[in-house]
Structure 1
């Protein structure tokens, strides 16, 4: 004879109209926005022309929509945790979108364009995104300079001038 799994533990579920009902807690899941709990609450349903007791199962936000029942243990409830961010991501923070864009000045004079990082406030919207190779080729053209505000200069200048630039007393 197979063992029947234990009943999920009791939990108090807070309904949208602030009523509180006793339900069952099936699962917990940590999300970037907070915790979600999969709960079932008693309800009624029509089955074969008869109104019969049933369970309505739904995900709710915790702790806004659930409260523990005194004396009930929730240790055995299946729980999914977020993976902690890597130390590298914690230190560096979110990555910016990769690529560069050329802002053409329209001048025929010496200043003909500026290469920006795609997320620079000065970058033109809708301009084609350049790969690093194309950005380097563009930056080496006469009259084109690298934006010092967004980091394009810091990122691309060492590739153009060499990484030793600035270390030999230049």
Structure 2
């Protein structure tokens, strides 16, 4: 048996005891499970980031470089990026808005665009148009997840144990674009 299965069985005991009336009374419901910090935070080293950027340049999937550059520079989540619409990008004020409906927190956020993020988005808009989703498929629907392409990119960059989500942790926009 493994630890996960053992824990599941232990959590079932109070229900089983009640169901089969095996014990007249018990305090098993008062037993608290230990909380475990399962958060995984992985940062790119400078060398890894350099290799990632080099691999992006040789990648033939057009949107990938743009979405990774934005993730690195804004700290946006993948779902927020994939649901981003051009109407949420304010080039005049260099602000990008994450709509509350697409934010994990449920709150609208306004993110400053540093020079790299701004230029990347501006160039992408010239290539793809300025209506609808920023990242769209050939049917103008939001781009779907891209695990295979992401995995291939990491393999080419020789980066292991790194998720797209980890891009959020490396370069907070407040430091990245000199907003302080």
TM-score by length of 1: 0.26
- Of structures 1 and 2, the larger Rg is shown by 1
Kindly indicate which of the two structures has a greater share of residues assigned to strand.
1
TM-score by length of 2: 0.25
Choose between structure 1 and 2 for higher RCO, CA contacts under 8 A separated by at least 6 residues. Answer: 2
